Structure 1
């Protein structure tokens, strides 16, 4: 049998369910015409529509080069093809199947609306040629639909979802599987030789790994050195307290099972300490948002989860959106976070909540603007997690922060960056500001001498306006 393994956001050979299933099916076939071809499809127009960041595009580009080498070690060749958008995938895949006499296609399921629509069209096109299309459950420990509440519906609140997740979890579900080496020649065509060029803007992702060995080393180091203290360190951006593994999860260089297996290291979840359990919760949050977009496709259409929040009349100014994007709001913790995002493609998780709250509840700007900007910059951009985080912060989402809880950007800075180390790292113009004033430098007597802007809004005033804005929207009903 000849098979095709279609890679998407699962760019790894280790613990890749579809790859393992494809190898097993081809190896078990009885005919002599055995072979397996790997495929990755670049879709520039679709990527642009989805606001794929140039830095994530570059990480994908680099990863495809190393993935090519890893697959060759398994006697599998990787074809990297470019079409405009998802709608062009069915014809491309059927053409490849005909060229290489492919009898079966394998891929790991994705849950976003455009992706599920694409896969349905591919399945339909392949069926016309009697070619089965096998979608494997890989992205989550529990596939969407396998965890339901007592009413038989999906969970709309995280805590009971997590409780059910833990009740159903067994250590066997975190077993990491390695693919077997194929003992036949790879399907290959010289025109598929990948040169590392993408027809899409890229920004250098050199600070992030593209090699599996390096990523696994980072995972092991985090699990041993930082996970035990994760609960107490994760909220302080000046500390190296988070995993920074999200870029690798986002493009599938790592599976969630690999993360959980390394964290558990043979233990059961209840045997983890508080810090380790907190990181496990973050992985379960990631899964919660994947389940949510599966059951609520409206989220992929730009709709809010909470119906009444569609009535919010955003009152902010477009000029303020640009100031927020550039990190020129006059609020140091917000500006430092945005500088970190713009320069590295990554932002500390606590600060993602702070800047999102500031955009929606201080600047009174639509969360969609922030969601899109994050995706256009984040090296770890993941639609479900990004959408879930923004709707949580904007109080429009599932299990969201209540609208009357509004982060004070000064207090957040004082609490989580008490000596201003993080702020001064990203805003060197504030190096001379005393600690007492570092999160409200306009109160310092020498502030006029600094090359730093005045606050573009007054938090207390904006807070009252935000509360009224949300109250009016809620009163208008769904």
Structure 2
């Protein structure tokens, strides 16, 4: 008998439930497969930096599995349909008896898995599906009326109640298998088709499981206890920087939450403020995943709030491009956008500031920003990206009220008091006094060669208020 392990956004050997199930005993041999689908990734707005790192992760997974005696076949295809056809051919030709994979929650991926599972059932091939992206599987947490949660706070209470303040320990890597037990024809085919994608080493990010483990350990041992106090201050760089490893699947949420739980006195809430706060952020991540399953229209870029679906956004391409380049004339916004371009990552507080600036100050459709972030971020993730953008635009579940509009200057003065973060990414403003960096006067701007403000805060705020209020009529 042969079991086929299908890797997707779970490129790791530790705490991988589908892989562990595939190697639950030695009664059957395990083969593994992963698809590189660049045209499909591009269609889903993943940028070149992210896809390059995914290729590195796949090559590293190949090495890790090879040490376990599990052959990994990496196949290049154009889209999901081509992947499904290839799987059917492999299963039929080589008498695969079992297909195992971890679930993905986006709508296209779900439809792909449903159709393939139907075919497998008709062919008497066992299919085993596992949840590895959420502690509480989507659909399990309901309100008293049996509806999905639409607001975060009650969702969090239900999540904590369901976990009972306990997180199972992450699974170890599976047992090795003797390569000699593999079906010779299938093993030979895997060797004949062997192909490893080319990738370039990224200057800032290393797409390996070991790098994810090290980053998690370093964070929990050092910055996690100060997370609540320092997470909003971009110059300190005190966030976990684990979102990339979670997005690619080099780390599992359980590894993160269990580690935090251990460091927090075996508590998910009511422990140290920093660890409580970080666990809370991980639960937000689960909340957004539950939402895209309960409301699949979110995957189609629809506003969660139907009454805000047709907001008369300003389709200003020139203003949008200035925002993308970091040329709005608001230093904290521009510095954040420069960080995004330089690192493929942006501090979480600044993601909210820049998103709200685009949707409220410039009154530009949140979908433009969502797409741009997805193309630039190495941690691009549809559920979290969509949830964050709709929160900022006030169109989503539990979103900020439309009248809550961040003043970027105030945000800068509060969270970058000395303007150190601004100076790091806008060196032309380094010569200015700290207080002046937050919003230089016109003379200072001319001397430094810095952009004139693209819009005046008070007028832009009123325009946004009037626009959103008109949707209530």
Q: Common fold, TM-score beyond 0.5? A: yes
Following superposition of structure 1 onto structure 2, how do residues 173-322 of structure 1 map, counting pairs within 5 Å? 173-185=167-179, 188=187, 189-197=190-198, 205-265=202-262, 267-270=266-269, 272-322=271-321
Inter-partner Cα distance in structure 2 for 1:175 and 1:65: 27
Shift of 1:281: 0.3
Which residue of the other structure, out of 64, 81, 92, is the alignment partner of 2:86?
A: 92
Shift of 1:166: 0.8
Inter-partner Cα distance in structure 1 for 2:408 and 2:229: 20
The corresponding residue for 2:139 is 145
**Given the alignment of the two structures, is residue 52 of structure 1 paired with residue 46 of structure 2, yes or no?**
yes
Inter-partner Cα distance in structure 1 for 2:162 and 2:121: 35
Counterpart secondary structure, 1:155: coil
Inter-partner Cα distance in structure 1 for 2:332 and 2:56: 32
The corresponding residue for 1:469 is 467
Shift of 1:141: 0.3
Higher mean C-alpha deviation, range 167-176 or range 219-228: 167-176
Which residue of the other structure, out of 453, 460, 466, is the alignment partner of 2:458?
A: 460
Length-normalised TM-score, structure 2: 0.95
The corresponding residue for 1:439 is 438
Is the contact made by 1:316 and 1:363 (CA closer than 8 Å) also made in structure 2?
no
Inter-partner Cα distance in structure 1 for 2:404 and 2:154: 22
Counterpart secondary structure, 1:165: helix
Over residues 60-118 of structure 1, what are the superposed CA-to-partner deviations in whole Å (9 max), with x where a residue is unaligned? 11111111111112110111112111122221101122343211100001111011011
Runs (5+) with no aligned partner, structure 2: none
Counterpart secondary structure, 2:214: helix
Counterpart secondary structure, 1:38: strand
Is the contact made by 1:23 and 1:179 (CA closer than 8 Å) also made in structure 2?
no
Inter-partner Cα distance in structure 1 for 2:209 and 2:39: 29
Following superposition of structure 1 onto structure 2, how do residues 347-386 of structure 1 map, counting pairs within 5 Å? 347-386=346-385
Counterpart secondary structure, 2:232: coil
Is the contact made by 1:91 and 1:125 (CA closer than 8 Å) also made in structure 2?
no
Over residues 278-312 of structure 1, what are the superposed CA-to-partner deviations in whole Å (9 max), with x where a residue is unaligned? 00000000000000000000101111000110121
The corresponding residue for 2:16 is 16
**Given the alignment of the two structures, is residue 330 of structure 1 paired with residue 329 of structure 2, yes or no?**
yes
Inter-partner Cα distance in structure 1 for 2:84 and 2:119: 6
Inter-partner Cα distance in structure 2 for 1:85 and 1:56: 17
Inter-partner Cα distance in structure 2 for 1:139 and 1:303: 23
Inter-partner Cα distance in structure 2 for 1:470 and 1:130: 54
The corresponding residue for 2:114 is 120
Over residues 305-330 of structure 1, what are the superposed CA-to-partner deviations in whole Å (9 max), with x where a residue is unaligned? 00110121012521000000011111
Shift of 1:192: 3.3
Cα RMSD over matched residues?
1.5
**Given the alignment of the two structures, is residue 81 of structure 1 paired with residue 75 of structure 2, yes or no?**
yes
Shift of 1:170: 4.0
Runs (5+) with no aligned partner, structure 1: none
Shift of 1:204: 5.3
Is the contact made by 2:419 and 2:435 (CA closer than 8 Å) also made in structure 1?
no
Inter-partner Cα distance in structure 2 for 1:245 and 1:40: 23
**Given the alignment of the two structures, is residue 43 of structure 1 paired with residue 42 of structure 2, yes or no?**
no
Is the contact made by 2:167 and 2:257 (CA closer than 8 Å) also made in structure 1?
no
Length-normalised TM-score, structure 1: 0.94
Shift of 1:179: 3.1
Is the contact made by 1:174 and 1:260 (CA closer than 8 Å) also made in structure 2?
no
Is the contact made by 1:311 and 1:474 (CA closer than 8 Å) also made in structure 2?
no
Question: Which ranges of 4 or more aligned residues in structure 1 deviate by more than 4 Å?
Answer: none
| C-alpha spacing 1:123/1:361, structure 2 compared with 1 (3 Å) | same
